Amino acid sequence: MADLMTTLGIWLAAFFTLSIFSFLYKDNPFYKFAEQVFVGLSAAYWLVYTIYNILIPNLFSKLLTDFSGNLVLLIPMLLGIMMLLRMFPKLQWISRYPLALMVGTSAAMSMLLSFKSDFLEQMAATMINPFKFTSAVDVVGTIMVIVGTLCGVFFFYFSKKQEGLYKVPSKIGIWFLMVSFGASFGYTVMARISLLIGRLDFLLRDWLHLIK
Amino acid sequence: MKSSLLGLLLLLLAFGLTGKTTEQQVFSVQDNPWDDGTSILIEWDLEAGADSLNLQRADSLGAFTLIFNEFAREGRFIDSSLSTGQEYSYRLIAYNQVRGDSLIYIGSARTKAQWFDMNKLSLLILLLLVCGAILYYIFSARRGKELFIRRIGGLDSMDEAIGRATEKGKPILFVPGISDLGDIQTIAALNILSHLAYKSAEYGTELLVPCRFSMVLSAARETVKEAYLKAGKPDAYREESVFYVTDDQFGFVAGVDGIMLREQPAANFFLGAFWAESLILTETGFGTGAIQTAGTGQPHQIPFFVVSCDYTLIGEELYAASAYISRDPQQLGSLKGHDFGKLLVILLVLFGVIMEIIGAGWFKKFFEGGS
Amino acid sequence: MKMPERSVVERRIVFLLLVLAVALPILFPLGLKTQSTPLTEQVYGLVESLPEGVPVIISFDYDPSTITELQPMAEAVIEHAWKKGHKVIATAMWPQGPQMAEIAFKDVQARMERKDAAAKKHPYGEDYINLGYKPGGLVTIQGMGRSMKAIFPTDITGQKYDEIPLLKPVRTLKDIRYVISLSAGDPGLRDWIMTANGKFNVPVAGGTTAVSAPGFLPYVNDQKQLYGLMGGLKGAAEYELLLGYEGTASLGMNPQSVAHILILAFILFGNIRAWKKRKADRLALEAKNG
Amino acid sequence: MKRNLPLIVAFISGVVILVGGFIPRDPFPRIESTLIEWFMIISGFAILLGQASLLRMNVARVAEKAPNWQYYLAGLISFGLMLAFGLLWGMEKTPGLLGQGQGIVDKLGTKPFDYLFENAFIPLSATMFSLLAFYIASAAYRAFIIRTFESNLLMITAVIVMLGRTSFAPVLTGWIPDQLSWLRLPELTNFIMQYPNTAAQRAILISAALGIVGASLRIILGIERSYLGGGK
């Protein structure tokens, strides 16, 4: 029985895979069906995980096992319910309170954390003595990092007209950006191809058994 | 701006000169500095030949239990999750296999909570400077002070594209991204739309604006209507030219593709938040021979825009173009504040590199913060 | 109406060629070998450097859409950590993460037993634990730095935090010796870098999809904000190489390499065509203007 | 009032976190932990809200017999199935309302929720995104055209990186002598990634961090309030 179900499962997976691929030919009922099944499954998945991995362990089971010790948890529960009221246009304003709490907290945290790791630390990481390296490649590379970072930042500096002498660092900045976008381009192509490899591998190996 | 930066540098110099030096000790136990008073810092520098170690902490009865035994001749260990304001004793046993003996070091310290985390001094100073600058500029802009930002090159090429469309007598297409109104990229796109709508009203060119969300739809309609009014041609405004396609990501793309093939617009504008669909849109647009302008803050999509469009607004340029057009004090002020931060980075890094070259490592250390 | 039809046909030929470029090397592997790079070696080095018994976090911050790239990384890292005797704690910032983690643990155990029938069993609760999904990204990670138990009152089986022996020495994130985040986007590796490393000084390494890999390189610096990075399928294949086995990633590098060549050929043809067209247009224009 | 009170909530929670970022001692760590716990629980409810809104929209479409309503109905049925399976027997090691469902596991090989996850969710999700491979291939053929010096630079780098990350790369340029080893494709790719790419990405990070600081500051101070909805 279990073996039969496994085989059936693979056929089901193959059916959905091909239904999605059929979109490449043109939009058709199979694709539309598969797409909506995906939306439905995904929504149920989120719900089940939210209940079993967040609401039960972090809220309900605490309240059920030790109610008086966790009284304070009634506040976030209330705020959560206020959040749900967003569904009703008339009561939408109530949801602003939990929203404000969340937005205020996360704005402050991301401000501190990203300023430290994306601003301060990046700045410090660019303060390098390029001549401490022995190999010429490293020296040249490090100089490129310093020049590229500074010119790149200058490219995004809007308070000065980029004319005459000011045009030079801005131009260098855009060149560095373009090289980096090229790298990004190459990597993205790579990523997209990888996804296709996974699917074709499934079809050829698990479904059609063309490879051992 | 410049004098305040100079002052800052001097301040930092003063810090560097007062930086303290610690003398080498074989085994030291001390309260872990600048923390909430729940950890103790243990450092050691063992003699050559030592090959394993055993760090122990005394419990309340005075019995020692192992807490750490990974060997490093010169190392440190932070014993965390302790109680504040208590005395803790430690013992380090270092074995020397060759000599066959072992040395025992003993030390103790009291945990203490601090009022300020000195490791974050550089963070605090710079954060205050940047935030101060942003607020200063926002309030100056609100008071009506003229703030200068340069014109983004992309705006000129946009005007040119509209001109070409007018010559050919074909419509222009504007897609304000596929994000909802909550995304600042969408807001920026709508600001630019108001400029384009103004121009197209002036030239009498047809404008097509497909939208993915109903909120964006109503905002876009409002924007276009206002622009036509401002251009003195309120009668030329047609509500159907700003329309809803569908919520579905790829469905929306398919819809816009269809419009491009049917209407053959002479100029396409893709401004706002775009994800993986970016290249499908620009590919179709390229096929129809339109002049394409794109702009997004989504870094992964920029490369595709650069290679398949005639002009691309890169990242922050999108916001700058929007601030330039709208003259909204909030946007303008923030942008000027960010510019102050950028100038700060450029100067500090230049100075930092020089300091590293002359061997004054404390400057970089100050920004790294301790740990 | 003639133009679009021709382009539709062209498009289908392109699609077909791509399928062939990927499928043929899957069916008939070329036996290509990959070469490891310093970035992947750094991740390997971090795992390799720690002694037996230390608690570590592997965070599953992705969903099935990127399994081809990230699942082989997860398997390789788990195998390496188990071989070193590290106690693996699985967390997830994406809801699909816990499920991906379970699949990975099962597959690694099966593979190790396939290779060596007497391979060590890695029982749940002793060698690894799955703490499940929590939302909130960097906010939640900051919470872990204060108290792990407050964020994860139980594991996925519903067992209480205090009752799990593996978690005894782990009171906060600071007791973790390294975090490896397998990350497909947001929330993910960036949140771990900013919080676990930036705030609590825990070493962080990662594996990401190739799409986001270039953006993480500024973090690989003197301050070690990031201890190395596995980027995409190639990164996964490199890790497999370092561990000494050929897994799905290494095999995947065959079609990957062939498809890259095909895409490059497409770009080349496309540019030649565009160049010819431009030339023809210019000639026509000149002829018209006399 | 309806508008200002939430702004005060955002201000207070933001300022407490900001101050706590610099003062390590009590009571700040404790307040922070409490806020984080609340944040997580509210996020849970927010996820419920998101899924519920989506569902409500699809139910309405089916009820109104909107175009393509049959597909939306299929979506709702698969939603109901997956939800019921998850709630009744749980998933993987997590027990559901009816425990671990050993009887069903014996018949099916896995729990019903996991069965649907592995055989429907995974192929659907993975295939949906693999379509992008085709789009990139067709765009490569039709739209990735070199125009300016800048796009030239981009394309040349892309070509080097794409070749450098294949398994052909070591063979293609293995003949280059050791003194010039950095010219070999894998090394050249590493060089590009480690230096010029890092520089540009760092510039982007720094600018973006400033943007985040600006946006957060405006939110905390109540200057930016669009997140509350309902226009200015």
Chain A contact present for D151, CB below 8 A: yes
Chain D contact present for A177, CB below 8 A: yes
Judging by beta carbons within 10 Å of its beta carbon (0-12, 13-18, 19+), is residue D231 exposed, middle or buried?
A: exposed
When CB atoms are compared, the residue of C7, C214, C266 closest to D201 is: C214
- Per-residue CA distances from B293 to B157, B179, B317, D137 (Å): 8, 18, 13, 22
The whole-angstrom separation of Cα B353 and Cα A149 is 12
| Cβ-contact D204, B299 below 8 angstroms | yes
**Which of C216, C221, C251 to probe by mutation at the A interface, max A CB count within 10 Å?**
C221
Q: How far is B101 from chain A (nearest CA, A)?
A: 41
**Averaged pLDDT of chain D:** 91
Q: Which residues contact A199 (CB under 8 A, 6 or more apart)?
A: A17, A21, C68, D123, D126, D127, D130
**Side-chain half-sphere of C203: how many Cα atoms within 13 Å?**
17
Size of interface B-D (CB pairs under 8 A): 107
Which pLDDT belongs to residue B242? 95
* Spacing of C-alpha A18 from chain mean position: 27
* pLDDT digit string, tens, across residues A59-113: 999 999 999 999 999 999 999 999 999 888 898 889 999 999 999 999 999 999 9
- How many other C-beta atoms lie within 10 A of the C-beta of residue B97? 11
Closest by CA position to B125, among listed B262, B253, B14, B230 = B14
* pLDDT digit string, tens, across residues C92-124: 999 999 999 999 999 999 999 999 988 899 999
**A206 part of a folded domain:** yes
Q: Which of B44-48, B300-304, B327-331, C153-157 shows the lowest mean pLDDT across its residues?
A: B44-48
**The total number of structural domains that make up chain A:** 1
The whole-angstrom separation of Cα B253 and Cα B281 is 7
Judging by beta carbons within 10 Å of its beta carbon (0-12, 13-18, 19+), is residue C68 exposed, middle or buried?
A: buried
- Residue B245 dihedral angles phi and psi, to the nearest 5°: -105, -75
Residue D26 in tokens:
């009590």
When CB atoms are compared, the residue of D75, D123, D198 closest to A40 is: D75
| Cβ-contact A209, A13 below 8 angstroms | no
With tokens 């109530």, the residue in question is A94
Chain C contact present for D159, CB below 8 A: yes
Domains of chain B: 25-110 (2.60.40.10), 118-145+331-365 (no CATH), 153-327 (3.40.50)
* Helices C248-289 and C232-243, packing angle to 10 deg: 150
| Cβ-contact C242, C36 below 8 angstroms | yes
* pLDDT digit string, tens, across residues C189-217: 999 999 999 999 999 999 999 999 999 99
Which pLDDT belongs to residue B7? 63
Q: What is the DSSP string of B46-75?
A: PPTT--EEEEEEE-TTS-EEEEE----SEE
| Cβ-contact C86, C208 below 8 angstroms | no
Residue C181 in tokens:
């985040």
Chain D contact present for B120, CB below 8 A: yes
Q: Do C22 and A197 touch (CB under 8 A)?
A: yes
- In D70-99, the residues whose Cβ lies within 8 Å of chain C are 91-95
**Which of B115, B121, B244, B307 to probe by mutation at the D interface, max D CB count within 10 Å?**
B307
Tell me the mean pLDDT in the region C163-171.
94
The whole-angstrom separation of Cα B291 and Cα B196 is 14
Closest by CA position to C91, among listed C82, C103, C76, C101 = C101
Q: How confident is residue B138, by pLDDT bands cut at 50, 70 and 90?
A: very high
Judging by beta carbons within 10 Å of its beta carbon (0-12, 13-18, 19+), is residue C272 exposed, middle or buried?
A: exposed
| Cβ-contact B280, B253 below 8 angstroms | yes
Q: Do D91 and A118 touch (CB under 8 A)?
A: no
Residue C8: is its pLDDT beyond 90? no
Q: Do C257 and D166 touch (CB under 8 A)?
A: yes
* pLDDT digit string, tens, across residues D133-171: 999 999 998 888 888 899 999 999 999 999 999 888 888
Tell me the mean pLDDT in the region C167-179.
95
Q: How confident is residue B1, by pLDDT bands cut at 50, 70 and 90?
A: low
CATH number of C38-246: 3.40.50
The range of the structural domain enclosing residue A145 comes to 128-212
Residue type, C178: Y
Q: How confident is residue B99, by pLDDT bands cut at 50, 70 and 90?
A: confident
Name every chain D residue with its beta carbon within 8 A of the beta carbon of C140: 36, 39-40
Q: Do C222 and A180 touch (CB under 8 A)?
A: no
Q: What is the pTM of this model?
A: 0.94
With tokens 């950590």, the residue in question is C81
Residue C228: is its pLDDT beyond 60? yes
Chain D contact present for A31, CB below 8 A: no
With tokens 């816990």, the residue in question is C98
Q: Do A211 and C27 touch (CB under 8 A)?
A: yes
Judging by beta carbons within 10 Å of its beta carbon (0-12, 13-18, 19+), is residue C285 exposed, middle or buried?
A: exposed
Three-class secondary structure of residue B293 per DSSP:
strand
Tell me the mean pLDDT in the region B318-339.
93
Widest Cα–Cα separation across chain A: 78
Tell me the mean pLDDT in the region B187-213.
94
| Cβ-contact C74, C60 below 8 angstroms | yes
Q: Which residues contact C127 (CB under 8 A, 6 or more apart)?
A: C82, C87, C88, C166
Which pLDDT belongs to residue B97? 83
Chain D contact present for B304, CB below 8 A: yes
Which pLDDT belongs to residue B109? 93
Regarding predicted confidence, which is higher, B23 or B130?
Answer: B130
Q: How far is A164 from chain C (nearest CA, A)?
A: 31
* pLDDT digit string, tens, across residues B235-253: 999 999 999 988 778 889 9
Q: How far is B161 from chain A (nearest CA, A)?
A: 23
Q: Which residues contact D231 (CB under 8 A, 6 or more apart)?
A: none
**Averaged pLDDT of chain B:** 89
**A158 part of a folded domain:** yes
The two counts, helices (H) then strands (E), for chain C are 10, 6
The whole-angstrom separation of Cα D81 and Cα D64 is 23
Helix, strand, coil distribution of chain C in percent, nearest 5? 60, 10, 30
- How many other C-beta atoms lie within 10 A of the C-beta of residue D159? 18
- In A137-166, the residues whose Cβ lies within 8 Å of chain D are 137, 140-142, 144-153, 155-156
- Per-residue CA distances from C169 to C59, C161, C164, C176, D135 (Å): 19, 11, 10, 9, 50
* pLDDT digit string, tens, across residues D102-118: 999 998 989 999 999 99
| Cβ-contact B210, B189 below 8 angstroms | no
Chain D contact present for A14, CB below 8 A: yes
Which pLDDT belongs to residue B24? 52
The whole-angstrom separation of Cα D13 and Cα A97 is 11
**Side-chain half-sphere of D27: how many Cα atoms within 13 Å?**
4
- Residue B96 dihedral angles phi and psi, to the nearest 5°: -125, 105
**A98 part of a folded domain:** no
The whole-angstrom separation of Cα B20 and Cα B16 is 9
Which pLDDT belongs to residue C1? 40
Residue C86 in tokens:
């590290």
Size of interface A-D (CB pairs under 8 A): 402
Which pLDDT belongs to residue D11? 96
**Side-chain half-sphere of B142: how many Cα atoms within 13 Å?**
9
Q: Which of A114-123, C65-74, D41-50, D222-231 shows the lowest mean pLDDT across its residues?
A: D222-231
Which pLDDT belongs to residue D138? 92
Q: How confident is residue B22, by pLDDT bands cut at 50, 70 and 90?
A: very low
Which pLDDT belongs to residue B370? 57
Which pLDDT belongs to residue D203? 97
Residue C117 in tokens:
């029938």
Name every chain B residue with its beta carbon within 8 A of the beta carbon of C223: 368
When CB atoms are compared, the residue of C65, C135, C143 closest to D126 is: C65
With tokens 């010559």, the residue in question is B167
* pLDDT digit string, tens, across residues B61-70: 889 999 988 8
Which chains, if any, share at least 3 CB pairs under 8 A with chain A? Answer: B, C, D
The whole-angstrom separation of Cα C95 and Cα C61 is 8
With tokens 């970072």, the residue in question is A149
